[in-house]
Amino acid sequence: MLAVIIMFWKGWRVGLFIGLGPSIAGLVGQFFKRVIFPHSDRPKLFFEKLHQTIQLPQDLEVHLHHSFPSGHTIGAFAFFYLLSSLTPSKTGHFICLILATLVGFSRIFLAQHFPVDVVVGSLIGILVAEIWTRLIPQKWVVNNA
């Protein structure tokens, strides 16, 4: 949704660049979740197997499988990395980092992921976004003619 807003605000190329990058990162994350690590339990199931309970926020839908890596964190870090790559401001870079980090923190806080899921998710998001920025010339992105 943010990519669509950016598309109307900054032009279709910028919106496409910022929208497709996290989508590709998400596909990479799903490959890891479904193919490489299909049996990674989420915190609730992990601790239930140890006969321990964890405190969860009320009315929260908790998933049980496909914990590693965190897909939300992959998408957030990819999105905000790409957004910051188009921003010359150091303050803008810092705000993007804080927002992406808050997404990762929320996944741990809501007991959807372990910290390692979030850390690896952030690294995958950044790596895919960096590869995406090298594949798509910045000149093409910012030239909306």
Predicted confidence (pLDDT) at residue 91 exceeds the cutoff of 80? yes
CA distance 17 to 138: 9
Q: Residue 94 has which token pair?
A: 């810092």
For range 83-105, the mean pLDDT: 93
Domain ranges of the chain: 2-55+65-142
End-to-end Cα separation, the chain, in angstroms: 23
Question: Whole-model pTM?
Answer: 0.84
Q: Which of 145, 143, 141 is nearest to 21 (CA)?
A: 141
Q: What is the pLDDT of residue 27?
A: 95
Q: What is the CATH number of domain 2-55+65-142?
A: 1.20.144.10
Predicted confidence (pLDDT) at residue 84 exceeds the cutoff of 80? yes
pLDDT band, very low/low/confident/very high, at 18 (cuts 50, 70, 90): confident
